[in-house]
Amino acid sequence: MALSPAALLEQSIYQEKLHELKQLVSVTPHYYEALYLKPLLAMAAIVQQLPYPFQHHYEIKNGFLLAALDCALAALKFRRGYMLPLGADTETCYREQDAWTYAIFTAALLQECWLLLGAFQIAIKEPQTQTARLWNPLITSHINAKHYYRFRVTPTITSWQSANPLLVKLLLPENAFAWLCSYPYLFNCWWKSIAGILEATNPIQDILQKAHHHLLPANGKEPINIKENNKKEACVSAQIEIEEQEKSKKLAQEIEAISTISIAPTQLQPGVVHETIIANKNFSLTEILITTLKQQFKQKQLTINQPQDFIHRVHEGILLITPAIWDWLFAHCPELKNKWLVPKHENLHNTLLQALLEENQLIKNSTQNSLLHRYFIGRWEARQVLAGVVVPIEDLFPDGHLPTINEQLHLEPAL
């Protein structure tokens, strides 16, 4: 008997994998349910508890959905090693990173749905009428709960693979499909991947191939998903290694990500900062930055919350867009630039950011669990990203004359 999609995913065999998926995609619960859980539920509704007869360790009840979910998780892990689109500048990669992650997830999860057409013959029977009929997922997008269904594996008809995008379109949320369409190159790579059109330069196909290879059982070992205890033992050491590597790279990635986002600053007017601030080595970089900003605000030389500004009031404090804030600071403090421009500092923006981190003057982003604060303007299909660091508002406005919060900035873009 068929089950509802929610009942299928509530089974214990999926719970650990769904928890891992939440950790890998790192989005808010609302967007996890809207963008990631919906395709999973839609796929569960059509594959039900079918086995996956093409790899012996998935020739079990629920094997089809397990194989797809395992492939999606593996692909998300390999995606971390890619800056996409290939060859693009870091700002473009940062701006499109969420869309590429989602494209890779959906391609890995749904790439073999066409097998329901080309390798299975499925019949369903309604309990009230007791009449049986052949079921086609392109005509009826799911098997109703409490229907009886029977299946048999047939010789694979590979020509059905070209119809897979049609089936995937039925399973994806409409707004998610529109989001992918808004990036032409990404959409082309994604479409060819789910349609089985091979292309040597397609990064999504490259990641999917690595994921498939990763899931093949090693010679001489028990197949995964049959011996659950053995599977857990085999994964523990690899998972620990991955987590340790991620922890060691986290700070460097955050610094690099922050330094690649820029926003057009207001017209810079060179100013003068009191000479003792620069000359006195006891002053920290944060103190120099805050003092300079306070002077400019007092002289009404700076604006805030405007589209062209690099300073915005957010709920946590004052958002300073990097690297634009450094360009502004050096225009007002040329002595400071000379102080930091030494040969060992290959990336000045990263060096200054590291100095702020070491001074422990930044507000941590509790929602995204990072020192990097990302805010969005607009919807998913046409969003802009602002990123930077946040300092306490009291540091810049001690007199209590606080600017209003910029309500156009959001932690997540609207769907």
pLDDT digits (tens, 9 = 90+) for 238-277: 454 455 455 445 544 544 454 444 333 333 344 444 443 4
At 355 the pLDDT is 66
Query: How many whole angstroms separate alpha carbon 271 and alpha carbon 292?
Result: 9
Domains, the chain: 5-226 (1.10.3210.40), 275-396 (no CATH)
Query: How many whole angstroms separate alpha carbon 126 and alpha carbon 146?
Result: 8
CA angle 99, 100, 104 (to 5 degrees): 120
Closest listed residue to residue 214, CA positions, set 119, 79, 83? 79
Instruction: Name which residue leads in pLDDT, 136 or 21.
Output: 21
Query: How many whole angstroms separate alpha carbon 263 and alpha carbon 4?
Result: 47
What global pTM score does this model have?
0.55
Per-residue pLDDT reduced to its tens digit, 197-229: 988 889 999 999 999 888 876 543 433 332 343
Mean pLDDT check: name the lowest of 170-179, 271-280, 295-304.
271-280
Residue 356 near residue 393, CB atoms below 8 Å: no
Place 159 in a pLDDT band, splitting at 50, 70 and 90. Answer: confident
Q: In the predicted model, what is the mean pLDDT of the chain?
A: 75
At 369 the pLDDT is 54
* Highest mean pLDDT of the ranges 15-29, 273-287, 312-326, 339-353: 15-29
Q: Which residues contact 107 (CB under 8 A, 6 or more apart)?
A: 75, 190, 193, 194, 204, 208
At 371 the pLDDT is 65
At 98 the pLDDT is 92
Per-residue pLDDT reduced to its tens digit, 373-408: 777 776 655 567 777 788 888 777 766 678 888 888
**189 has a pLDDT exceeding 90:** yes
What percentage of the chain has pLDDT greater than the value 90? Answer: 22
Q: What is the DSSP letter of 216?
A: S
Task: Tell me how far apart the terminal alpha carbons of the chain are, to the nearest angstrom.
Answer: 36
Distances (CA, A) of 204 to 3, 75, 260: 32, 9, 24
Which residues partner with 410 through β-bridges?
Answer: 376
**88 has a pLDDT exceeding 50:** yes
Give residue for tokens 């702020």.
356
Distances (CA, A) of 73 to 109, 183, 291: 9, 23, 47
Instruction: Name which residue leads in pLDDT, 47 or 234.
Output: 47
Q: At what angle do helices 324-332 and 348-359 cross, to 10 degrees?
A: 90
What percentage of the chain has pLDDT greater than the value 70? Answer: 68
Query: How many whole angstroms separate alpha carbon 357 and alpha carbon 368?
Result: 17
Instruction: Name which residue leads in pLDDT, 313 or 307.
Output: 313
Which residues partner with 414 through β-bridges?
Answer: 379
